[in-house]
Structure 1
Amino acid sequence: MTRLTLFITLLFASSLAQASLLAPFRYEDGSTRWQYVANFSSGVLIILLTIVAIVLFITWRRARRYNIALEEIRGHLEDRVQDRTAKLEKEVNEHVVTTQRLQASESYIQNILSSMPLVLVGLNSEGLITHWNRRAEQVSGTKADAAIGRNLWSIYPDITVTPQHIEQALEKRQPLTLRYSQPGSYHMDITVYPLENYIEPGVVVLVDDVTRRVITENMLIQHDKLSSMGELATAMANDIHKPLQAILFDLRSFQNILEAGHLMPSDSKQSGEFERLQGLLEHASDNGRQVESVIRNLLQFARGRNAQAEPANVVDILEHSLTQASEALSLPDAIPFGKVRVERHFETDIPQAPCHITELQQVFLSLFRHAYQSLAEKAEAKGLDFIPTLKLYVGQSYDALSIRIQHNGNGLSNEEQMHLFEPYVHSANVEQPSAAADKRLSFAYFVITEQHQGHMAVTSDPEVGTTFHIQLELH
């Protein structure tokens, strides 16, 4: 009831208010005063338009101020963008230049590593390959793309570096140098460098083929030896020749006097002593003639060789060297070289070969001396059941002359064969292999391989004997 009363009261109040508001626009009779309405509406409209214009003007001023500020901000931003763009362009250009330099440096280093004449292999601590240069590709036959990331010993098992060597270099942080050589074939210097100031531990393995350098050094050593030996041979021959001739003359004179019976008649009671003294004189004369033969050989060797090789019959040189060996080689309490059975197996119509005769005679004489020592040692051990035999083979094999000197004396061990052709360097600080100086044939090997451009090898068995193989080019 209360709500209905309140609604009716409000409706009545609004009707009264409306009537009071519209009163100025009506006449007394209740008709509308349109002229007044029009004037009032025009005034209100003008006022509203004026207000709108003022608001628009204020808004325009404010917008203009904002636009000016925005222009300033935009100009500032454009300047900053330009500065930043210029800096970025400069940084980009510097980065491009730096990248180009790095690429050029990397390419340069890569070219250096690839062009190195030695094998260069980079390894991490696990033995995996991180770098593989061109020489390593040539030696192993494996390309770098296929090698990098793989285990070294799985693709290059012939390398003498072992995982223990890698571990040793990494632990000691010092380079490790190894020498690997096959006499007569190749010589390798291997160095393991540990990487320093690097994130991951690793090593660089360098395998340098020093065969030519070693051969050149051996050539210099042998040339020095030749010069020294020539001077020494000349001095020794001249110093020994005169007193030796005097001794031989005295021996012959004493022997003639003894044979003439001036000192002791041959039919006297001391005939046994006479024969014994005669035997001693004969033995002394034989030894003197052997020394004289050695002196002749020394003088012949000291005269040197011609600069150019000259054609010669190798069989004649071999026979002459055999004669020299029969005259010069002898050991106390051993069978003389002249008692050694010599079997000759020479082909017919063997062509002449270009050679240096004197040096080749020294080679054969060195081989006969080496064989004689082995034969004498075995003859002493075996006794009368052993027949020392020396077999000589000469024949033509295509464009080369094949020479073999074989004996049935004591053979060579594997270690002796390995060091047989290496020079003997005497040093108190260097541990020498078992093959001593008198068992080496480095001079003979040098003469055959370097002076004659031939080949020389040895095959031996401790029980059967030894064979020396020589090959000389005919052209």
Structure 2
Amino acid sequence: MRYLVIFSLLLPSFAQAAIVSYFKYEDGRTNWQYVANFSSSILIILLSLVILGLFIARRRLFKAHRELHAIRDDLEVRVKERTATLNESNTKLLASNEALEQEIAQHILTTKRLMTSEAYITDILTSMPLMLVCLDKDGRITHWNRRTEEVSGISAERALGKSLWEAYPTATVSPDQIQQAIKNQDTVHIKQSLRSMSHFDITIYPLRENSDGGVVLLIDDISKETMAENMLIHNDKMSFMGEMASTMAHDINTPLQGILLDLRSFQRALRANADSDDAQQNAKRAERLDEIANQMSLKGDQVNTIINNLLAFARSRQEKKQMVNMVDVMENTLRLAGDILSVSERLPFHRIKIERHFDENLPLTPCYITEMQQVFLSLLRNACHSLDEKLASEVVTTNSDKPFIPTIKLLLAECYGNLWIKVQHNGKGLSNEEQMYLFEPFFSNQEPEKSVDAGQRLSFSYYIITEQHQGHMAVTSDEESGSTFHMQLPLQA
């Protein structure tokens, strides 16, 4: 009945009146049977609609539930994927953090090492005994070490940032030299002497790995070393001059003593001729006097040749080397040796066998001619002494069937861009100690109490070959078979 009332209320007024009249009898009483049937029908319809709505709702709910399960499954899959990705990211992040921590630790260690190295290098540059100045491409000072402060009297604070010539106006290095080192990217060496008292060795080298294109000046104060070297050179020169004078005196003494001996013989012959009345004897004495005079004249010419050679040696020193044929120099020296060398009457130079082994078409050699003649002459004189000693020993002990022939072998050859010179003799050889000290000044293989023989010294020859000609000189010797002097001269000046 409640639903009927509700339903009736929802209908329009005329419909309501029609429905109400349907449920009443003609006498106005209510027909409850119709009302009950109608209400039941309406209720069944409503229940059917509700059931249909519930069924539809259930279907929708089931579909929604199924979609929800799908969404949940998909969400679970996504959550798992995201979780796996997050775990992987966390793992990578942890690994990155560990690597970053290691890298940071390595950077800290590297920084400490760099700081230590920088401090060490700075300490070296600051404490080094050489003057060190660093310049940028504009010539401004970037480093000024302690030694530079001491020598210049200018502190690093005052010098840094300024140009070299602004900070130190008396600097002898010119801007052109700095620019030359930067432009050519090559080291520049400068030697400077101030009032012959201070000597500096300056090296300018560019910083090739530096984009700023700076240079470094390394200045070494070599005043003490230079003075000591000059003193040593002076002493060597004095020693060589003494040796050369002694050698020339040795060469002059022999013909001079012969002249004096001939002069005394000449005087005795004159006195004997004055006291004698025999014409035949006088004629013989006159011939003897003429012979003595000729010998004196020859020996005087020999002395004159030696003196002229000494004067030529003193005057003919050339500023530059001359390109010469060394065979000609050797031949001229042999002719000169034949005139002036006379070690003893037992062995004059012309009795020595000379063997020549000269390569053909030898190239011209740059040398100082007079000095090379002096070297060859000294070696020939040394060979003559050794041959004379060997000959004297052979005369005393003549037990060999094969006679001793004094021989000097001369060899000239080209090898590997150098001229090789060998002077070999079969005279008395040198001991190991004598070979060691042969090229020392005033060396002699005689006993200390004996007179020093200039013919045995070769220090001046060694100086000429090694210092003046930038060559090499050595000796090999055997006391029985003789000695060989080896010389090597560069063919390029």
Q: TM-score, normalised by structure 2?
A: 0.44
- Rg larger in structure: 2
Q: TM-score, normalised by structure 1?
A: 0.45
